[in-house]
Amino acid sequence: MEHIGGLSAKRQHERKVFLRLLRRIRIEAKLTQAQLAKALGVTQARISKYEQGERRIDVLELKTVCDAVGLPLMEFARRFEEGCRQYPT
């Protein structure tokens, strides 16, 4: 298994799936980064860093984001797992 930047190709795929999904749920909720940031009481820069993978997000923060966009955390997890399964074997 190839390792680039400390992550295996599979882990890189999973990371991309996570970051794309994080951005997608905000867009599906028709929120800008600034609007989501305001709802969460954080800066727009923090939302941007989450979506770009420059700042890690823990499960409690993820739940807060999901609550703000009206998506159950379990649905986020289901969609994440579905995206991860698309990794070529």
Architecture of domain 3-84: Orthogonal Bundle (1.10)
The torsion angles phi and psi of 64, rounded to 5 degrees, stand at -65, -40
Structure-block tokens of residue 16: 């991309």
Q: What does the pLDDT read at residue 2?
A: 46
- Domains in the chain: boundaries: 3-84
Cβ-based neighbours of 53, under 8 Å, separated by 6 or more: 15, 19
| Residue 1 reports pLDDT greater than 60 | no
What are the tens digits of pLDDT across the range 27-74? 999 999 999 999 999 999 999 999 999 999 999 999 999 999 999 999
**17 CB neighbour count, 10 Å cutoff:** 19
